[in-house]
Structure 1
Amino acid sequence: MYNKILLAYDFNNSFNNVPKELRNLTTGTDNAEVTIFNVIPESDLEASVRYDNKHFEDLAKEKHKQLAPFAQEIENLGLKVDVKFSTGYIKQSILSEVDDNNYDIIVMSNTREKSDIKNILGNVTHKIASNVSIPVLIVN
């Protein structure tokens, strides 16, 4: 169904159900590619540089190692995986990634501890879903 998928990854959310959904999204597709995209917030980067002398490249390497088992799980489904990191404001960075590339769908996780009926979606998830012209799958 979908060939080019953007997976907006947040280390604070659970992505346990995502591989199953990716398998469903790519059924019947031979060359499906999943881009795992994580944004390192500017505030985190500034604190890391200031207190730990770790720059963007260092943080990206660490996060890439943390993502390795998850990426391997997706590759085991027969999907091509690309891991990308960016820094800046999360919402704007994801929207820029979508604008700069030709994705078919965005997959996001929306695990919230306190479910408030008024704000079912998180701030980032709501902003992305409201500002893109491609489908957005929100996995709980």
Structure 2
Amino acid sequence: MYKNILLPYDFGNSFDNVPKELDKLTSDDEKSIITIFNIITENEMSSDVKFNGKRFNEIVEEKTEQLKPFTDELDKLNLNYEIRFEVGRVIPQLLKEINAHDYDMIVMSNKRSKRDIKHVLGHVTHKIAKRVNTPVMIVK
């Protein structure tokens, strides 16, 4: 069904329901690819370098290891994926990624910072869904 899916991954969100939705979206198509995309914020990068002496590659290795339970679920479903990391501000980097590639669908997990009925979507989810022409699926 969908050949090229972007999954902006936020380590603060729950992605428990996402693998089965990705499985439905790809319809067992071996040519489908899911891009798991995480943005390392400049603050996180500078604090890790300053206080922990870490460099970009070390942070990527740690985050890839943290992703393992999620990617194991994707492996069980035989889904094709790639993992990519960038450094920068979240919304501009996501928009840059979306505009630079021809994604068929963006799948996002929703997190609200407060349980406020007024704001159903989290800040990043709202901004991305509002500003892109690519279909966005928000998984609760």
How many angstroms apart in 2 are the aligned matches of 1:134 and 1:117?
A: 26
**So what's the TM-score if we normalise by structure 1?**
0.94
> Structure 1 residue 15 and structure 2 residue 15: aligned?
yes
Q: Which moved more, 1:47-56 or 1:64-73?
A: 64-73
**Counterpart-to-counterpart distance in 1, 2:108 and 2:81:** 16
> Partner letter of residue 101 of structure 2?
N
Q: What's the CA shift for 1:120?
A: 0.8
Please list the CA deviations of residues 50-90 of structure 1 after superposition, one character each: whole Å capped at 9, or x if unmatched. Answer: 10111111111100111122112112212111000011000
1:129 Cα deviation after fit = 0.4
Which residue in the other structure is 1:53 paired with? 53
Query: Which deviates more from structure 2 when the two are superposed, residues 26-35 or residues 57-66?
Result: 26-35
Cα distance, 1:30 vs structure 2: 3.2
Q: In the alignment, which residue of structure 2 is the partner of 1:126?
A: 126
Residue in 1 aligned with 2:40? 40
Question: Aligned runs of 1:55-94 on 2, under 5 Å?
Answer: 55-94=55-94
> Higher mean Cα deviation, 27-36 or 79-88?
27-36
Q: Who is 1:95 aligned against?
A: 95
Structure 2, unaligned runs of 5 or more: none
Give, in whole Å, the separation in 2 of the partners of 1:28 and 1:80.
Answer: 10
Q: Are the equivalent residues in 2 in contact too, given 1:31–1:79 (CA < 8 A)?
A: no
Structure 1 residue ranges, 4+ long, deviating more than 6 angstroms after superposition: none
CA RMSD of superposed structures (Å): 1.3
Paired residues in the alignment total: 140
CA displacement at 1:131 relative to structure 2 = 0.9
Task: Work out whether 1:139 is the aligned partner of 2:139.
Answer: yes
2:129/2:136 contact within 8 Å kept? yes
Cα distance, 1:122 vs structure 2: 0.9
Give the counterpart letter for 1:17 in structure 2: N
Quote the Cα distance in structure 2 between the aligned partners of 1:60 and 1:101: 22
The 2-side partners of 1:28 and 1:38 are apart by 25
Percent identity (aligned): 47
What TM-score, normalized by structure 2, do the two folds share? 0.94
User: In the aligned structure 1, how far is the partner of 2:51 from the partner of 2:28?
Assistant: 48
